[in-house]
Amino acid sequence: MYNIIKRPIITEKNTLHATTLNEYAFEVALDSNRVEIKKAVEKLFGVKVLRVNTLIGRRESRKLGRFPGERKLWKKAIVKLKEGDKFDFVAS
């Protein structure tokens, strides 16, 4: 479970979605699927998950000084919870 969910993604947009739509975003392992993510969130936080949407953030080129490089490849999961459930790490 702890290898599947890496960290919550707390941004202004995700906080708005948490308060209005009851959806939360997490950075997850690249090899995890929707079923594994759903089970991990339900077991770790004790909530009921209705839906899991995933997306893979593409590699982007960037420069550090004069040296070119790339950002890492990562996966994001947007989890919709049952009405009435919520997480404590997002102030709402």
Could you read off the pLDDT of 55-74 as tens digits, one per residue? 998 888 888 888 888 888 99
Q: If you average pLDDT over every residue of the chain, what do you get?
A: 90
Alpha carbon 41 to its chain's center: 10
- Binning pLDDT at 50, 70 and 90, where does residue 90 land? low
- Binning pLDDT at 50, 70 and 90, where does residue 92 land? very low
Strand, coil or helix: 44: helix
Residue range 7-19, pLDDT digits in tens: 999 999 999 999 9
Residue range 36-54, pLDDT digits in tens: 999 999 999 999 999 999 9
- Residue that the structure tokens 């590699």 belong to: 59
Alpha-carbon distance of 10 to 6, in angstroms, equals: 13
